[in-house]
Amino acid sequence: MSPMPPRRQQPHPLSQQLLLAAVVVAAAALLLAMPPGAHAISIAVPIRPPQLPSVPTVRLQSAPGSPPSPSPATVDISVEPVELTLSLGLAAGNGTNTSLSFTTPRYLSSRAGSTDKLQPPALILDAVCNSFGVRLSNNLPFQGVSTCPFYPGQNAEAPQFENGPHDLEWTNLHTHGLKVDPGAVSLNNICEPGQPTAGFPNGANTSLNAYYCSPNVSSSQLCEVFGDNVLANGRPLAPGTPYSTPGVAPGGATLSYTYPLGAVVPGMGWYHPHTHGSVGIQTPTAGAPLIVPESWLSGGVTSLYEPADTTTVSECARLLGVLSAQPLESSTILQVNGLWFRKRADGTPDDDSLPFLGAAPGGTQVSPLLYDVLPNGTAVPKFSNPAGRDWALINGAFQPTISIAERIYARWEILNTMTMKWLDLTIQQVLPDGSLRPADCGFWLLGRDGVPLPKVPRRLASQPAGTSAFTSDLILGPANRADVLVKCNTPGTYVLASGAGPFHTNYTSCTAVHCELFGDVPPATSGLPRSANNLYGGLELTAAVLAVVQVGRRGANPLAQADFDNEVCRSRLELFPYLDYLSFPTPAVPQCFSFMNQQGVACLAVPPCQSLRTHRGFCSINSQLFPTATAYVEQGTQQVWELHDTTFHPFHLHETPVRLVSLPPCATSVTNNWAKEDWMDAIHLPVCQNGCIWADQGSGGGQCGSSVERCDTVEVQWLATMFNMPAPRGSSDLCAARGTAAAATNATCTTRYSVFHCHILPHEDEGCIWPVKWYCPGDAPTDPAQLNAQCPANYPDCGSPGAARPDKTVRRSLLGRNV
């Protein structure tokens, strides 16, 4: 890959005075609201509703030839603006009215149409061993790409890729939790004019400039996309765009995704937008589960699990009874969304708010949903944020009540869509003085990130150094999912809290907002408010309340359920070729990747760095920003990757879960939330904040030329499946047993591109992401140095090509913090 062309100048940051003035006019500006042609629906987020809003579901049945109730295998989903208002009213306590109002992207499905709710449907994938489709229409208002009037790749003014928040209304789709073809055969957007599958109607204006930059041409387009292609981009809705393709909702450009599915293990994945530059701004309010149900296996849960040994036969049977009564797709889904709107003491947006607002707010490249741009280029906010706090929602509601019965297991599928921060979930009783006391409840973990644990269940237990008792807590980083059984033994009213558990932010080592534990209390000197979720019962708590947990009496029936011992059943993961690690090809290909803090404090004193000082402090991988390096993976190989700095940066590889081969003691000595042999697709070990002693603040140092500190090495293994055309259905007998297995095809192997990145999504936008080139056997890159990435031992010298590059992302440095 050629080096990146020079980047463009940053837009001028909006001055603080302007921001303050802007807040004053914000309420009035709200009335001006939407751009012409688009009318945002208004949704008042339910505050403390007495019932948990359920997540609607849409089943995607196999295509023709497969068994009963053939529901369509394709769902239409649009991305469209919605105006969210959150107002605690007097419930905030002390006569204050904590509120927030802003316009944001959300998903709306034609098949679970609920226009007055934020929560989109969970897609239930009955289409295993076949394929399913999602037609995604972009109805966000038109915004030309940030390089306009030049289109991407046109010349030095418009590199093919740029980093930092940009192109905020362009969108596409990414799925977690499937073993699926990455689809992309090049890094380029296959939906732009001139590409064979771009899908423009006859007579469309096919000028690239018009496509990327002009609101005056139609966005009518139906682009066919294969697999989990995150390199395709959907054009936003131009005002007055006509659309008349049969079967497709009217709207802007439509990306019609076809996903081939082999034998996928039952579990919960999710889908969210993934256009580089707009991931951090769109995902917080657009994302929903994808569920592979147990029912696609001929024997359901009984073919997925077996007794762990001869002594656990009856207990395993009892566990399977609990699971069969609450199958994955009908158990309680809890989707956590984070809305990043914290203000600093001086009234300016905090570091976590900035990516949510889309850019260092100012100039013309702000989101038209959030700002009006005046003729003189000034961006005037049209959101209203008097509370200046962060918010977490569950299923689109604020602090809803979840009802369970005493001593009976409830199966929860928890999805953390938060784009930064982490959760340490416990169930607590709130005492009259606002203090929190652990309730008599426990979590039994069944699976993580859509893959069952090798042995189930695992009663979660954490005991940080210096504490005297175990606590049952569930730690979830960004993008993580957990399949858990929850049981409380005493009737009463409790809360599902984050920040009341055994772990806390180590504010000495965590100096950036993204590494905070959600709900934690920032140091008084920071002047930062707690989250809105810390407001509960008229009090300001020391932890965030995500939901109220009402534990009801059981009555005579059913019988109380006894605690499960650990590991009574074994998961038959070997049934799924991509999880059957003992059969992976050998020898494995070793590679190493470090998340690194690009450019450290020491550089400020050195002339070459001084000039770059406004660019220090963002996440890179092996000191490279997107797309200056590539990870090479030969299709058909086993990969073993060493990863560093997952304390601060959640590692996410597209298209496959990875198996934990080794974990650092800083994680395993204090909790059993993660164990060797678990599978995950986003690896984040935030408890290492308290166990790793970094030489410098932030991500393992980062000063020019200094050695890279590390204490949190994780090793993972995974199978780089051959992605032959047409769709692979997997060689597993499972598909044959279903009567849908395809004959093995020996079609020509084709190069594929996917990515891996930090799942702090603003870091992804900033360039903390690498392309992964899945090359075909015999097609290795000619420069062997390109193969087998190695972690650098040192940070680059100041001013060296690997040191920080000028970038549009200025905000970290403006606020003087490290990532």
Ligand X SMILES: *[C@@H]1O[C@H](CO)[C@@H](O)[C@H](O)[C@H]1NC(C)=O
Point out which residues bind ligand X (CB under 6 A).
87, 89-90, 93-94, 97, 99, 205, 207, 210, 213-214, 216-217, 374, 376, 378, 506, 508-509, 535, 539-540, 690, 693-694, 743-744, 746
Say if CB 732 and CB 676 are below 8 A apart.
no
Say if CB 423 and CB 653 are below 8 A apart.
no
First to last CA, the chain: 27
Judged by beta carbon, residue 513 or residue 789, the one nearer ligand X is 513
CB 563, min distance to ligand X, A: 31
Write out the H or E segment, with its range, that includes residue 134. strand 131-138
Judged by beta carbon, residue 27 or residue 605, the one nearer ligand X is 27
Secondary structure letter of residue 446 according to DSSP:
E
Judged by beta carbon, residue 102 or residue 626, the one nearer ligand X is 102
Judged by beta carbon, residue 321 or residue 347, the one nearer ligand X is 347
Q: What is the separation of C-alpha 241 from the centre of its chain, rounded to a whole number of angstroms?
A: 31
Judged by beta carbon, residue 97 or residue 324, the one nearer ligand X is 97
- For every residue of 570-588, DSSP letters joined together read EE-GGGSGGG-GGGS-SS-
- Name residue 75's beta-bridge partners: 134
Backbone angles phi, psi at 201, to 5 degrees: -70, 160
Judged by beta carbon, residue 173 or residue 217, the one nearer ligand X is 217
Say if CB 568 and CB 458 are below 8 A apart.
no
Residue with tokens 């139906």: 222
Judged by beta carbon, residue 355 or residue 686, the one nearer ligand X is 686
**How far is 174 from 146, CA to CA, in rounded Å?**
22
CB 618, min distance to ligand X, A: 21
**How far is 222 from 219, CA to CA, in rounded Å?**
10
Encoded amino acid at 115, one letter: T
Judged by beta carbon, residue 134 or residue 393, the one nearer ligand X is 393
Judged by beta carbon, residue 310 or residue 746, the one nearer ligand X is 746
Backbone angles phi, psi at 143, to 5 degrees: -145, 125
Judged by beta carbon, residue 47 or residue 815, the one nearer ligand X is 47
CB 762, min distance to ligand X, A: 23
Closest of 618, 667, 563 to residue 804, by C-alpha: 618
Q: How many other CB atoms are found less than 10 A from the CB of residue 180?
A: 24
Residue with tokens 């056997």: 777
Helix (H, G, I), strand (E, B) or coil at 68: coil
- Name residue 101's beta-bridge partners: 85, 384
Encoded amino acid at 711, one letter: C
CB 740, min distance to ligand X, A: 17
Judged by beta carbon, residue 28 or residue 744, the one nearer ligand X is 744
Encoded amino acid at 369, one letter: L
CB 466, min distance to ligand X, A: 8
**How far is 261 from 253, CA to CA, in rounded Å?**
25
CB 464, min distance to ligand X, A: 8
Say if CB 158 and CB 147 are below 8 A apart.
yes
Assign 3-class secondary structure to 708-758: CCCCCCEEEEEECCCCECCCCCCCCHHHHHCCCCCCCCCCCECCEEEEEEE
CB 700, min distance to ligand X, A: 11
In 581-698, DSSP assigns E strands to 589-598, 618-621, 631-634, 638-644, 651-653, 658-662, 679-680, 682-683
CB 813, min distance to ligand X, A: 22
Show Cβ contacts of residue 784 under 8 Å, excluding neighbours closer than 6 positions.
none
Q: How many other CB atoms are found less than 10 A from the CB of residue 57?
A: 18
Judged by beta carbon, residue 339 or residue 653, the one nearer ligand X is 339
Helix (H, G, I), strand (E, B) or coil at 322: helix
**How far is 59 from 653, CA to CA, in rounded Å?**
26
**How far is 647 from 107, CA to CA, in rounded Å?**
31
Judged by beta carbon, residue 120 or residue 698, the one nearer ligand X is 698
CB 515, min distance to ligand X, A: 11
Let me know how many helices (H) and strands (E) the chain has, helices first. 11, 42
Judged by beta carbon, residue 33 or residue 592, the one nearer ligand X is 33
Identify the burial level of 17 via C-beta atoms within 10 angstroms of its C-beta, where 0-12 means exposed, 13-18 middle and 19 or more buried. exposed
Judged by beta carbon, residue 210 or residue 548, the one nearer ligand X is 210
Judged by beta carbon, residue 611 or residue 745, the one nearer ligand X is 745
Judged by beta carbon, residue 389 or residue 411, the one nearer ligand X is 389
CB 697, min distance to ligand X, A: 8
* Closest residue by beta carbon to ligand X: 89
CB 389, min distance to ligand X, A: 11
CB 94, min distance to ligand X, A: 4
Say if CB 309 and CB 214 are below 8 A apart.
no
- Parallel/antiparallel/unpaired status of strands 222-226 and 254-260: parallel
CB 362, min distance to ligand X, A: 10
Judged by beta carbon, residue 102 or residue 161, the one nearer ligand X is 102
**How far is 688 from 149, CA to CA, in rounded Å?**
46
Helix (H, G, I), strand (E, B) or coil at 439: coil
CB 692, min distance to ligand X, A: 7
CB 36, min distance to ligand X, A: 12
CB 243, min distance to ligand X, A: 18
Q: 149 preceded by cis ω (within 30°)?
A: yes
Helix (H, G, I), strand (E, B) or coil at 642: strand
**How far is 161 from 169, CA to CA, in rounded Å?**
16
CB 343, min distance to ligand X, A: 16
Helix (H, G, I), strand (E, B) or coil at 156: coil
Helix (H, G, I), strand (E, B) or coil at 451: strand
CB 544, min distance to ligand X, A: 13
